[in-house]
Chain A
Amino acid sequence: MPRTLLLVGTRKGCFVLESGADRRDWSLRGPYCEGWPVYHAVFDQESGSIYAAAASEWHGSAVWRSDDLGETWSHSSEGLAYEDGRRLSKVSTLAAAHGRVLVGVEAPGIFESRDGGETWSLLSTLSGQPGSEVWDDPANQPPGHLGISAITPDRDDPNAFWAIVQGVGLFETKDDAKTWTPRNRGLRADWPREHEEVGFCVHKMVRSAADGDRMYQQNHVGMHRSDDRGASWQEITEGLPTEFGFAAAAHPHDRDTFFVIPLDPGHGRTMPDGKAAVWRTRDAGSSWERLTNGLPQEHAYLGVLREGMANDAHDVPGYYFGTSTGQVFASADDGESWQEIASYLPAISSVEVAVVD
């Protein structure tokens, strides 16, 4: 019987929640990675390995790997450094596909490993792209500046993927990072920009598993949808309580169904009015439903970060999100009802799903 695993990256290590196919009863394991802050943990379906991007205040950044679903771990940062004086302060995001692992870092750059995370080499810094004059400036090195915040591989083409540069925008490559194209046309920005094609604050991009042309994006200002693989975007914020948020998930079988967790855009960045809610559209953003069944509706000031929401691909999909206050909520019925399956974890950075036999 297949098992459903949730890989939960937290400020104090990686945890694993595990359930059977019914996704009702969950057991918790961890913490792993020696309590290092884990920014993103992912499952590589091809190898069966878990990878976790972690950065220790004391011992620096590394990518951890487990080949036995979290029971034992090793780590490496060999080659995970710039040789031009730029500072690599943090490994932020991971993607595993087509026989390799990509890690996005700050200052902005993408490293790859083709030996299971043993060694790393620099793939791209998106050098020469509009906006790179800022992130390549030695005076603008991290911490506190820009990084690669997400990488989305193409499911079919090993040379194609998308990368988000924080505060700059979404970029696409079709030739394994030799060349890049900004993919921000139609996005909104409520601030002055120096370049026409960049200067957008893309928080999260998800691509429909049912239709590769369909993408959704939670931006700093507004929800957006693309029907042409990111070449253009249109805003679909109307009907949501705020235009701000980080987490998002696309239905695995229906191109028009998409989930988002709007947050208060001020300093709090928690769910509005202390009432927890996930919002769902079934018509590609023309209308939105507020889903609250099983979610706390009083004094629930929950935040959810960029990688804090995920879904499985069961016939009736399950959705999962982890909060900045250490709770994990799960829905096994396409978002209709929710269950708190972990309550006292450290602040959660990421939630990803692995379904294994």
Chain B
Amino acid sequence: MADVHLPTTLLPLFAGLPRRLDLDAPTVDDAIGQLDERWPGLRDRLCEPGPKIRQHIHVYVDRERAGLDTPLTDRSRVDVIAAISGG
């Protein structure tokens, strides 16, 4: 199971969404899809049409910058980061 960590800015938008959770998903895109099934609308908060990951959302898989098609293993750590912006 991939160890998925979500940004704190996402949590208040979806009731019951935890900061981290385990997902059995072959790619980042599939992991986001699973989250969207459980918390409808979540994909829109991380991705824009294309689809592609939003400009100021960064996804890292095992510390490497990842895209939607990046594969996951059952030992992957996924960090979804709201990139620093604004003031």
Contacts and interface: CB of A to CB of B under 8 A. Distances in A.
A77 B41 contact: yes
Interface in A57-99: 57-60, 62, 75-78, 81-83
A74 B54 CA distance: 21
Nearest to B9: A58
A81 B49 contact: yes
A59 B77 CA distance: 22
15 contacts: A34-B13, A57-B86, A58-B45, A58-B54, A58-B56, A58-B57, A59-B13, A59-B45, A59-B57, A59-B82, A60-B45, A62-B44, A75-B41, A77-B41, A81-B49
**Interface size class, chain A:** 10 to 19
A60 B48 CA distance: 8
A60 B49 contact: no
Interface in B50-87: 54, 56-57, 82-83, 85-86
A62 B46 CA distance: 12
The secondary-structure label for the interface of chain B is: loop
A47 B8 CA distance: 32
Given A34-B12, A81-B49, A82-B49, A57 B85 contact: yes
A59 B48 contact: no
A77 B40 CA distance: 11
Interface residues of B, number: 18
B10 interface: yes
Contacts of B18: none
A58 B8 CA distance: 12
Interface in B20-46: 41, 44-46
A75 B7 contact: no
Most buried by A among B9, B13, B57: B13
A59 B49 contact: no
A57 B56 CA distance: 7
B19 to A, nearest CB: 16
Contacts of B44: 59-60, 62, 77-78
A52 to B, nearest CB: 14
Contacts of B54: 58-60
B50 to A, nearest CB: 9
B13 A78 contact: no
Nearest to A82: B49
A94 B45 CA distance: 21
Nearest to B40: A78
A59 B7 CA distance: 11
